[in-house]
């Protein structure tokens, strides 16, 4: 289980018509080895209107294949499920996608490599607001520096309120403190800052 908060920059956020930054607070629970359930609440910052409160996004991810030596883990993800099933009228972060994840270890270099590649298609289940088209990422870590990882990824496109944002190239660094506290600082398209702080732990040991 983990919970945390993320800062979302306005320049790449159609949800706010590119006028406001936003703050997301989330909690995630993996109660079976192949099912992960999230709830994210997103609020615009410095919003002067009267109608907006927060946007709630329930998410479910189902792992179809477990990672093995030569086989990546394969997962289906579904964002903003309830709104998408009902009508989609108030949906801002809806998505359905498939993603493959594979980790590698190079002992000679003491190097750990994590790779991810996914595809979000509006025709998969429902129209996507985010993770449109291809997206993927790469992480690099060293065996003797377990508390730090370098990250880079390409995020799929996003669309909301008739406004669209192209996929972004993101790069950052993640620190792990006291084994449970994860802090990430990154840049989106090298023109905006984003960051995340989360706390992860096991409910059952």
Q: Does 52 have pLDDT greater than 90?
A: no
Q: Could you tell me which residues come within 8 angstroms of residue 94 by beta carbon, excluding any fewer than 6 positions away?
A: 79, 80, 83, 84, 88, 126, 127, 128, 129, 130
Domains of the chain as residue ranges with CATH: 2-46+54-200 (2.40.160.40)
Q: pLDDT tens digits, residue range 110-147?
A: 999 999 999 987 655 556 678 888 999 999 999 999 99
* Predicted pLDDT at 4: 96
Q: pLDDT tens digits, residue range 58-83?
A: 999 999 999 999 999 999 998 887 76
* Predicted pLDDT at 158: 83
User: Within the chain, what is the greatest distance between any pair of CA atoms?
Assistant: 59
Q: Once rounded to an integer, what is the mean pLDDT over residues 89-113?
A: 90
Q: Does 98 have pLDDT greater than 60?
A: yes
Confidence band (pLDDT; 50, 70, 90) for 148? very high
């Amino acid at each position: 289980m983990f919970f945390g908060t993320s800062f979302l920059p306005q320049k790449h956020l159609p949800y706010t018509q590119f006028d406001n930054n936003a703050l997301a607070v989330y909690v995630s629970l993996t109660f079976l080895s192949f099912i992960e359930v999230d709830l994210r609440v997103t609020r615009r910052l410095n919003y002067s209107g009267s109608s907006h409160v927060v946007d709630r996004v329930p998410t479910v991810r189902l792992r179809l294949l477990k990672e093995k030596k030569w086989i990546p883990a394969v997962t289906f993800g579904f964002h903003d499920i309830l709104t998408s099933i009902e009508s989609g009228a108030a949906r801002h972060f809806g998505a359905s996608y498939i993603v493959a994840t594979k980790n590698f270890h190079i002992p000679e270099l003491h190097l750990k490599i994590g790779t991810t590649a996914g595809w979000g298609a509006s025709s998969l289940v429902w129209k996507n607001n985010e993770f449109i088209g291809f997206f993927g990422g790469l992480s690099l870590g060293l065996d003797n520096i377990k508390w730090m990882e370098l990250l880079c990824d390409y995020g799929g496109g996003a669309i909301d309120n008739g406004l669209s944002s192209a996929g972004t190239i993101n790069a950052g660094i993640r620190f792990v403190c006291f084994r449970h506290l994860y802090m990430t600082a990154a840049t989106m398209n090298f023109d905006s800052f984003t960051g995340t702080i989360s706390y992860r732990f096991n409910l059952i040991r």
